[in-house]
Amino acid sequence: MIQKDETKELAWVARIAVEDKDIPEFQDKINKKLEYYTVIADAPTDSVKKTVNPSRLNTVLRKDVVVPSMSVEDALKNAPDVYETSFKIPRIL
Amino acid sequence: MTKDIAAFKAAGSKAALDSLDKIKKDDLGTFITVCSDAKAADSAAGPLAGVPIAVSDNISTKGVETTCASHIVKGYVPPFSGKAVDDLEKAGAVIIGKTNMNEFGLLGAASAYGPIKNPRDKSKKGGPSASAAAVAAGEVPAAVCSDAGGLLRVSASFCGTAAFKPSYGAVSRFGLIYYTGSLDQIGVTATTVSDAVTVLDVISGNDNRDTTSLPEKMNYTGGKSLDGCKIGIPEEFLEDVSADVLKTFEEAVATFEKLGAKCMKFSLKTAKYMQSVHDIIAAGESSAMLAKFDGTRFGPRVEADNWHEMISKTRGLFGPVAQRRIMTGIHLLMAGQYNDYYMKSMQTRTLIIDEFESVFKEYDLLISPTAKTVAPDLGGACGGGCDLELSSYSAAIAGVDLAGLPAASVPCGFIGNLPAGLQIIGGYLKDADVVAAAEAFENATDFVKFPEAV
Amino acid sequence: MVYENPDGVMIGLEVHVQLNNANTKMFCSCTSDYTDSEANTCLCAGCLALPGTTPVLNEKSVEYAIRIGLALNAEIENETDFFMKSYFYPDLGNGYQVTQFDRPIVKNGHILIEGEDGELKVRINRAHMEDDPGKMAHFGSIEKSTGSIIDFNRSGMPLVEIVTAPDMRSAKEARRFLDKLRSILEYLDVFDGSREGAMKADANISVNVFNGKRIEGTRVEVKNISSHKAVEKAINYEIMRQKDFLRKNKPLVQETRHYDEDRNVTISLRVKETADDYRYFPDFDLVPMIVGDRVEGIRATMPELPDAKRERFVAQYGISDAHAKSLVTERAFADLFESVAAKVDPKSAASWVADVVKGELNYRDMPITAISADDVVTVIEMVTKKEISEESGVTVIRTLLDDGGKPSDIVKAKGLAMVADDFIETAAKEAIAESPDAVADYKAGTEKALNFIVGKVMQKAKGKADARLAREMVLQELEKL
């Protein structure tokens, strides 16, 4: 179960601005899920391999051959802010 | 009224216009973007020449806004198309528009573009994706939509269309904006199974841009006949199913028996883990997949003094369900929880796949109700796992995703004028068997045609 | 001699190597050659982390990682996989880096370096594959900037991160490790070390002896060491700082510090995150890699590495170990030497290539491609045949590098050809005849007088005589008197 301050911390780690008034609801709903998950505790998983993807494929590799890049116009087309041909963002610190 | 591919083809060059007119006239909230200048290329040839097809709004379309029904993707115009979209266009299809959906396809998450109404009863939900509603309303003969947690199948069940989610890897994920890449798979809904397969055949095949793409193109024909077929019914997949839906299911079982199949109930031991495992994996994957939406390179930006604050505010544009899903995923992946939840889920997933494999040594197919209820009220609870904001409607839906199995949903009866759906599940890569059984069931029943949608 | 390591210094390195000799990036088919390109012109939707893109691993980056593993005398993991490492940063479009976690492709290797007290074995704990983020630049300094800009050309470049055990005991050893590693990597043809960002290192440094007593040191990570010159300075600064703290009884914290090359200091990076939890989990977009069956095929194509080559050069060509060591640091010099040694005396070849050619190229900061083996052979042959003097040989090499041309033309144009022996004989006779005083002095036992006469001969030959020969001729003629 997560506490209120952990919920706030999770929002920060997720980089999601959650208003203080919404934190209790978030905490409650996340905790309901965590409680729901307890059902898997008795799954007999000792020394069972993990499945990451249902694909049965392995070692799918690509040849080292260059495909032309997209145009810089396409690259920047959706950018919220641009400086010359770079993506511009507010200060980092 | 529903119109199949042949009916739209019969309209010739008017097909796309008919579709656009119908979408305009309807008030179902089925489309986020309509390509109002869409028309068939003069030279259109191929199996879908001139046929209007809808694509769900989480599949990238070059030059056409793609939003995933989320405020955080609003205005994003992809510089490339998904493989499925390219294939449709090559086959002569006309991409008529982008269908509405729950935000990112998350169960219980509202679309930023309003509710999806059920064409059979506008006071009811059309499902988590509007692809089935668009087909049921006769706006398009078929719609391409991804399916994790029942996005496609449950929508088809609510609207009375046929749907097919193929084996994992049959259709390239390139261009699909998935939130859970190991559970999601593009499929098709149409008025009939054979129409769905016609479209599915067009978009199937290897894509060297998607590592998980199957090397050989899936063959959907030549499946086993139902005569002498052994069909398993996992008892756990019937739990909490509403009485009226269960009745349609029992009738479906009788139909299969009549067609020469032998149906047997059995207990699927790992079923009880399926919803949790699906949700834990989907949450973890979501937390990574939805990290790229940060107002830095594309999409809207909520201005702030510094970058971290800017992205936090921008990411506040996710709806609350998406926000909680991301936060849950982050929590589960942190060192303190990882082994007990995420690692455990990946291991349990192996148990689930193993059990399905042994079950399919015994049975040719499995069947279950697709959804536990008929379409719920528009404003009300969304039913199944959706109310808990789980990533899948039911264990029957989750299990298919976890093992990457092929599954069809076909209408199997009506409660009032609301359809119920039957899910037919095949072994991994046994897609043709599922198609054959679904077509045989469809031919033996009349649910595709009756009663008519609005 | 045993190195005492008075401060109990332990240094481990994490070296990021960009596999920039692959044609394409790690997970997409974009060009890896973006060095001179405008920002955001060498990329695709995947490099930009636009939604809906899926990664496909470059076969070459796997081959290169295996090559590196074999060169580091390491084990290659048969089945390996990728993980997502999550953190938010502007240059990391996806919000996660694709890297490896508990099954790195390479583990348990070592390389030998010249340590403070002889050969030192530096253990390699692991080497794993990962992708490079984009590149950020700030308007003004990072602390005071009003904004930043991002270029994603580098995004998705294949990297191998090599992690050593804390086996190095001085900054000098750390530098030698990096020099050796660079040399090996260049032999493997996996990267071009001259390209910006090709090799970067983070160093873990601890001081474990204080006042002659063993103490539990504090491990400090110094990031952002981008040049070999910087590594010694950065580490020495950090050792000094830790010793200073110990002396003043100030508490050392286990932390990450940033090396500021301009000011030659390390700066604490105060990170806002409460804990570094990168939430590693398996990358579900990729399937497992089974590479065991590729290893032997790759081993068969492995080039001879510097250590082996050095031994062979000494044994096969009879050259000095010092020359061999100098020749093998760069594969191209070793190759040049062997081409030259095939045609002339190997010892002369070693001395000309290692001492003259290498020095002249380094002085000019020119690549080895600026000179051909044939030209070097021609010059050595001319010197051996006494067609030109050794000094003139060096002049020819310099002219070749500065102005180009053919050695024979340069000799002609500069008039470097040595004068004939009979000319020197005549000149010697003349010089003796013209210098009766000097001859008398010499006869009287003043050795110096000989130099005067030889100088005269050289004057007559205008410098194009072999000084030794001139001396011999003069002595010969003096005998006759």
What does the pLDDT average to over C226-244?
90
Residues 6+ apart with CB under 8 A from B416: B121, B374
Interface test with A, best of C287, C289, C295, C298 (most A CBs within 10 A): C287
Tell me: domain A1-44, CATH 1.10.860, correct?
Answer: no
Q: Structural domain tally of chain B? A: 1
Distance, in Å, from the CA atom of B426 to the CA atom of B230, rounded to the nearest integer, reads 11
Nearest by CB to residue C44, choosing from A65, A69, A91, is: A69
Nearest CA in chain C to B84: C52
Does residue B405 sit within a domain? yes
Q: Is residue B133 part of a domain?
A: yes
CATH topology of domain C421-480: Arc Repressor Mutant, subunit A (1.10.10)
**Chain B contacts in chain A segment 3-42 (CB below 8 A):** 6-7, 10-18, 22, 26, 29-30, 32-34, 36-37, 39-41
Please state the pTM of the whole predicted model: 0.91
Q: What is the pLDDT of residue C469?
A: 82
Phi, psi values for residue C118, rounded to 5°: 105, -165
Instruction: Please enumerate in sequence order all residues whose Cβ is within 8 A of that of C308, keeping only pairs 6 or more positions apart, or say none.
Output: none
pLDDT for B453 equals 47
* Choice among B152-166, C185-199, C278-292 with the minimum mean pLDDT: C185-199
* A–C interface: beta-carbon pairs under 8 A: 125
DSSP per-residue string spanning C365-389: T--GGGS-HHHHHHHHHHHHTTSS-
Contact (CB<8Å) A89/C149: yes
- The domain ranges of chain A are 1-44
> Which residue in chain C has the smallest CA separation from B332?
C279
Partner A contacted by B175 (CB < 8 A): no
Contacts of B101 (CB under 8 A, 6+ apart): B56, B57, B58, B68, B69, B111, B116, B128, B129, B130, B131, B145, B151
Q: Which of residues 140-169 of C touch A (CB under 8 A)?
A: 142-143, 145-152
Give a yes or no: residue B190 inside a domain.
yes
Q: What is the DSSP letter of B371?
A: S
Q: pLDDT tens-digit profile of B418-449?
A: 999 999 999 999 999 999 999 999 999 988 76
Cβ contacts of A90 on chain B, cutoff 8 Å: 303-307, 310
> Which of B298, B308, B333 lies nearest to residue C279, judging by beta carbons?
B333
pLDDT by residue (tens digit) across A43-77? 999 999 999 999 999 999 999 999 999 999 999 99
To test the contact with chain B by mutation, choose from C26, C27, C54, C96 the residue with the greatest count of B C-beta atoms within 10 A, namely: C54
The pLDDT score that the predictor gives to residue B183 is 98
Residues spanned by the domain of B175? 5-230+356-444
| Set of chain B residues whose Cβ sits within 8 Å of the Cβ of C84 | 288
Structure tokens at B144: 């391409």
C25 with C156: CB under 8 angstroms?
yes
pLDDT band at C116 (very low <50, low <70, confident <90, very high): very high
**Listed residue (B285, B239, B264, B274) closest to B353, CA to CA:** B274
Q: Taking residues C425-453, report their average pLDDT.
A: 88
Q: Choosing among A31, A55, A93, which should be mutated to test the B contact, i.e. which has the most B CBs within 10 A?
A: A55
Query: Is B316 a member of any domain?
Result: no
Rounded to 5 degrees, φ, ψ at B393 are -65, -35
Q: What is the mean pLDDT of chain C?
A: 92
Check CB contact of A51 with chain C, cutoff 8 Å. no
pLDDT digits (tens, 9 = 90+) for C11-61: 999 999 999 999 999 999 999 999 999 999 999 999 999 999 999 999 999
Asked if the Cβ–Cβ distance from B181 to C285 is below 8 Å, we say: yes
Instruction: Report the CATH number that the domain containing residue B49 is assigned in CATH.
Output: 3.90.1300.10
Domains of chain C, by residue range, sit at 9-296, 304-413, 421-480
Q: Does the residue B218 lie in any domain?
A: yes
- Contact residues on chain A for C86, CB-CB shorter than 8 A: none
Tell me which residue in A15, A37, A45 faces B351 most closely, judged by beta carbons. A45
Report chain B's mean pLDDT, rounded to a whole number: 95
Question: For testing the chain C interface, which of B56, B177, B184, B289 should be mutated: the one with the most C CBs within 10 Å?
Answer: B289
Determine whether the interchain pair B79/A74 forms a contact, defined as Cβ–Cβ distance below 8 Å: yes
Pairing outcome for strands B121-125 and C147-151: unpaired
B132 in Cβ contact with B126 (< 8 Å): yes
Distance from CA of C147 to the nearest CA of B (A): 8
Neighbour count for residue B338 (Cβ, 10 Å): 17
pLDDT at C394 over 60: yes
